[in-house]
Amino acid sequence: MPDKIAAQIEKFHTAARQLWIGDLDTWAKPAFHMIEIPKIAAYTLFDYNVLLFNPDYYYPNQPDYLFETVGHEMGHLIAARLYGEKAIVRPHGKEWRHVMIVLGIPPKIYHSYPDPKRADTVALTMLTTGAACKKKPNNSCIV
């Protein structure tokens, strides 16, 4: 496990619990895994409080990846914890953007990292599964 990602998750987790005292007191720090996901920089598994990070994009793109990509995914979990019980939270909607701004992270939806498997650069969508989206009966997400 990369220590820098763990430290960044801890930093955002602590900041969020201090900024939203009372609302996030029982929120456990999310777990994370490094896993290759083709053309995806990171992924949020809301139902499991788990973040997935792609090492192919993490290693060559520090410190941007540590701040913006890790922050982006943490923003999904925080927004879902803050607003998920009260309303349907769109993955990159106003609640997520609010969390990002309060944390001081640019609320960007896309990054453009060089694709290590291809010679050109592709825009990567930060994807979220279930991180505050309306669930369909088959447990997929309506974005």
pLDDT digits (tens, 9 = 90+) for 22-47: 889 899 999 999 999 888 999 999 88
Neighbours of 7 (CB within 10 A): 12
Neighbours of 98 (CB within 10 A): 16
Out of 10, 68, 73, 85, the active site residue is 73
Cα 88 versus chain centre, distance: 17
Q: Is 73 annotated as catalytic?
A: yes
> Is the CB of residue 36 less than 8 Å from the CB of residue 55?
yes
> Is the CB of residue 64 less than 8 Å from the CB of residue 44?
no
90 — pLDDT class (breaks 50, 70, 90): confident
Radius of gyration for the chain, computed over Cα atoms and rounded to the nearest angstrom: 15
119 — pLDDT class (breaks 50, 70, 90): low
Global pTM reads: 0.80
